[in-house]
Structure formats: structure tokens, C-alpha cells
């Protein structure tokens, strides 16, 4: 897979460097400062045992592009049910079979702007007594237009592209339309 931004490769390379003993890194191992050039485009998510996914950190460029800070927000509040279902299934897959996921999503920002956003998702193992986390690297690909009827954030309005990424443990047996 070829990413459109060098930041994706920076985050992916750093994540891979943290893998030890054939294990994916934990959240405490992943230091966003180590990928400081990418930090502004990173979000960090956490999933609990009820499949509730909450944003724990939103980079400054993400906040600026969307015109809203989603830190602390539950995914179901800002994402449609179809997209949320796919994301929960992919998060579960990443935890059971170490892999990454890449999406090109169509999002609507509160300003009414409709955009295609590339998102790379990498799992972070849960530490004892803590929840698993997922680091996501985002980049806006293109602006599709504007809707001025109702200004609200809607992530994952539609999937433009969706692929699993082999991180060294092969692609999981679940097949998507594309895999990298």
C-alpha cells in the first residue's frame, strides 16, 4: 500500500519498531512525541467491553479541519450506524488478528464541508486493567463539496475505500473488497 502522505509511513514505521516478542505495542509504549511531525493528524481511540469507542486524543490539525474537538466524544454520537458497525468489527479484528486498517471515508464537517479523508488505524494492546486503544493517522484527500442545510459532524458517511494492512501477521481471513 502506498500512502499519500509521508506521515502515514512515519507512524506505521514507528508502530512497527515497537513490536516486540511477536506482540503489538501497548498504549504506554506508543509515544506520540516520537512521531511529532505527525501528532497534529493523529487521534487516539479506546474501546470498552461493550464496544463503546471513545476518542481520547484529537490532534490539532484534525480539530482545525473539522472545526470541532472530538476528544472525549463517543463514536456513536458522530458516526452513522453502518460505518460504526464496520469500525467496531474492524477494531475487534485488529485485536484478535494483529493488522492495520486503512479507510478512505467520506465525512461531513460541522461547517457543511464534505471531504474524503484517508485514515490509517493501528491497534495498541491493552495493559492490565486498561482498555485497548487504537492510534489513527488522518489526512484530508479532497473536498467533494458543501451542504448548507444542517451543520453537524458526520464521520463515515460512506466508505470510499477499505483495506486491511499486513503488519507482519498476514491479512485476517475476513475478506474486504481490497486488502494491502
Query: How does residue 175 score in pLDDT terms, banded at 50, 70 and 90?
Result: low
Length of the chain: 180
- Which residues pair with residue 134 across a beta bridge? 45, 123
Whether the pLDDT of residue 176 is over 60: the answer is: no
Q: pLDDT of 3-36, one tens digit each?
A: 667 788 899 999 999 998 878 999 999 998 899 9
> Which domains does the chain possess?
6-24+38-168 (3.30.450.20)
CB atoms within 10 A of CB 143: 11
Could you write out the DSSP letters of every residue in 19-69?
A: -BTTBPPBTTT--GGGGTTTGGGEEEEEE-TT--EEEEEE-HHHHHHHTS-
Q: pLDDT of 35-91, one tens digit each?
A: 998 999 999 999 999 999 999 999 999 999 888 999 999 998 999 777 888 999 999
Q: How far is CA 49 from each of CA 46, 53, 130, 170, 175, rounded to the nearest angstrom?
A: 10, 10, 11, 26, 24
Whether the pLDDT of residue 179 is over 50: the answer is: no
Q: pLDDT of 123-138, one tens digit each?
A: 999 999 999 999 999 9
**3-state secondary structure (DSSP) of residue 9:** helix
Cell of 154: 458526520
CA-derived radius of gyration, the chain: 15
Amino acid at each position: 500500500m502506498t500512502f499519500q502522505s509521508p506521515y502515514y509511513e512515519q507512524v506505521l514505521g514507528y508502530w512497527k519498531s515497537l513490536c516486540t516478542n511477536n506482540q503489538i505495542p501497548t498504549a504506554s509504549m506508543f509515544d506520540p512525541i516520537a512521531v511529532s511531525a505527525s501528532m497534529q493528524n493523529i487521534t487516539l481511540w479506546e474501546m470498552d467491553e461493550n464496544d463503546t469507542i471513545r476518542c481520547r486524543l484529537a490532534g490539532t490539525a484534525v480539530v482545525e479541519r473539522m472545526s470541532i474537538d472530538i476528544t472525549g466524544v463517543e463514536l456513536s454520537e458522530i458516526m452513522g450506524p453502518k460505518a460504526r458497525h464496520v469500525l467496531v468489527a474492524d477494531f475487534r479484528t485488529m485485536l484478535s488478528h494483529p493488522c492495520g486498517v486503512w479507510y478512505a471515508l467520506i465525512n461531513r464537517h460541522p461547517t457543511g464541508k464534505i471531504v474524503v479523508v484517508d485514515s490509517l488505524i493501528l491497534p495498541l494492546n491493552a495493559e492490565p486493567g486498561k482498555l485497548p486503544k487504537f492510534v489513527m493517522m488522518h489526512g484530508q484527500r479532497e473536498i467533494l463539496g458543501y451542504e448548507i442545510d444542517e451543520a453537524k459532524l458526520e464521520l463515515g458517511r460512506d466508505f470510499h475505500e477499505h483495506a486491511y494492512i499486513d503488519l507482519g501477521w498476514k491479512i485476517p481471513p475476513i475478506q474486504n473488497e481490497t486488502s494491502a
